[in-house]
């Protein structure tokens, strides 16, 4: 059929929201991969692995949203919402990651609501399910920023030495005088 004579897709609103989400996920995934390479370069092993895992998680979200768009007979706008920001100071990196997750959570809550209002229960649920992942990322980044704020350079130094969350736990325990 001629493209212009096709009946309007009743899920166009969902498709637009899903494509907005794809743009966010691509940009966020690239931003975290950029952070990963910098943390890796600085030998901050734990932060480096967090960013790598988060980048891959966002990549999986791209796939989920893209599959849904095709199912709704739309097409995927596979482009980043923004260019990767060259932020390289650890606390600033975590602050940016927190901001990205917060903005995404707000956008997906709104998208979820709109999909529901338009009778698209599956997209509605998809947004809700992905919000759970984003809140987990937010929690992780907040914890890391807190560790950095509390222990500063010691935390980063310990990461390069021990390279694990274990280091943070040990410092935390020590600071709070807890028993093994
Ligand atoms: Fe995501
Ligand atoms: Fe996320």
- Cα 58 to ligand 2 centroid, rounded to whole Å: 6
Q: How far is the CA of 150 from the centre of ligand 1 (A)?
A: 28
**Residue 21, domain member (yes or no):** yes
Cα of 135 vs centre of ligand 2, distance in Å, is: 7
**Spatial distance between the Cα atoms of 8 and 87, rounded to a whole number of angstroms:** 43
d(CA 26, CA 41): 23
Which structural domain range is residue 24 located in?
Answer: 11-176
Domain-located, residue 109: yes
* 115-149 tens-digit pLDDT: 999 999 999 999 999 999 999 999 999 999 999 99
Q: Compute how many other C-beta atoms are within 10 angstroms of the C-beta atom of residue 179.
A: 4
CATH code, domain with 136: 1.20.1260.10
Q: Is 122 helix (H, G, I), strand (E, B) or coil?
A: helix
Give the total number of structural domains in the chain.
1
Q: Are 9 and 73 in contact (CB under 8 A)?
A: yes
| Closest ligand to the CA of 21 | 1
Q: What is the pLDDT of residues 39-77, one digit of tens each?
A: 999 989 899 999 999 999 999 999 999 999 999 999 999
Query: Which listed ligand is nearest to 135 at the C-alpha?
Result: 2
For the whole model, what pTM was predicted?
0.86
Residue 2 within any structural domain of the chain? no
């Amino acid at each position: 059929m001629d493209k212009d004579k096709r009946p309007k897709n009743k899920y166009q609103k969902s498709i637009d929201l899903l494509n907005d989400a794809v743009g966010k996920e691509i940009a966020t995934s690239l931003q975290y991969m950029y952070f990963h390479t910098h943390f890796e370069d600085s030998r901050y092993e734990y932060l480096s692995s967090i960013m790598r895992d988060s980048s891959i998680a966002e990549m999986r979200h791209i796939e989920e949203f893209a599959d849904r768009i095709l199912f709704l007979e739309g097409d995927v706008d596979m482009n980043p919402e923004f260019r990767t920001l060259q932020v390289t100071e650890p606390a600033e990196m975590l602050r940016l990651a927190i901001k990205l997750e917060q903005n995404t959570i707000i956008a997906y809550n709104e998208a979820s609501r709109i999909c529901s209002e338009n009778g698209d229960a599956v997209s509605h649920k998809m947004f809700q399910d992905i919000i759970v992942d984003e809140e987990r990322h937010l929690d992780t980044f907040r914890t890391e920023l807190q560790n950095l704020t509390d222990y500063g350079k010691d935390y980063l130094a310990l990461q390069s030495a021990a390279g694990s969350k274990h280091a943070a736990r040990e410092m935390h325990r020590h600071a709070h005088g807890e028993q093994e």
